[in-house]
């Protein structure tokens, strides 16, 4: 079981690092576009559309590693006042909710992306990128989030809820 946990953690971490590089590339593309447009009066046809695609992919593929690191927004007003068993129950409930939501998003997202692939839908822009390129990240991202969520559910069930950070920015 530990081997499976480590595999899911590694996949989520890899995708989190890939997301960081996608965000970096997005910044580089936008910077290039601004320079090309305003300094050389030569805008690109690709920078805006590719940067949007990279932002979508980066956002959704990072969800699993953010859950693992407990880096999503949390409201701890109530859970901070609970004892260890109360925090564990609260964490289990939250993870179960995330797992169910992820499964539903994965299911419906796959249907939408597959339909676009099957029908050959595209953006209709100069690059004419197939729509499934941007739509496929929804089921993929939520699948990774679901897998990480199941791993975290088992960890919390076995070990209890992780300690909560006292200050903003602590993990």
Name the helix (H) or strand (E) containing 23.
helix 2-38
d(CA 134, CA 128): 12
d(CA 2, CA 59): 27
| 73 within a domain of the structure (yes/no) | yes
| 64 within a domain of the structure (yes/no) | yes
| 19 within a domain of the structure (yes/no) | yes
Domain containing 89 equals 2-159
d(CA 61, CA 105): 14
| 170 within a domain of the structure (yes/no) | no
| 35 within a domain of the structure (yes/no) | yes
Digit-coded pLDDT (tens) for 6-54:
999 999 999 999 999 999 999 999 999 999 999 999 999 999 999 999 9
| 72 within a domain of the structure (yes/no) | yes
Digit-coded pLDDT (tens) for 122-133:
999 999 999 999
Percent of the chain with pLDDT over 70: 95
The model carries a pTM of: 0.86
Mean pLDDT of the region 130-142: 97
Number of domains in the chain: 1
């Amino acid at each position: 079981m530990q081997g499976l946990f480590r595999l899911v953690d590694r996949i989520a971490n890899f995708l989190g690092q890939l997301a960081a590089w996608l965000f970096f590339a997005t910044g580089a593309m936008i910077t290039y576009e601004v320079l090309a447009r305003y300094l050389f009066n030569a805008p690109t046809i690709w920078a805006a559309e590719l940067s949007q695609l990279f932002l979508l992919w980066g956002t959704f593929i990072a969800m699993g590693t953010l859950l693992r690191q407990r880096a999503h927004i949390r409201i701890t007003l109530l859970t901070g006042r609970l004892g260890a068993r109360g925090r564990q129950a609260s964490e289990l409930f939250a993870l179960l909710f995330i797992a169910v939501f992820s499964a539903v998003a994965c299911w419906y997202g796959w249907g939408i992306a597959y339909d676009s692939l099957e029908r050959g839908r595209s953006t209709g822009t100069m690059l004419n990128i197939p729509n499934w390129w941007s739509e496929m990240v929804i089921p993929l991202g939520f699948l990774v989030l679901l897998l990480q969520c199941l791993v975290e559910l088992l960890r919390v069930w076995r070990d209890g809820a992780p300690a909560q950070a006292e200050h903003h920015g602590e993990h």
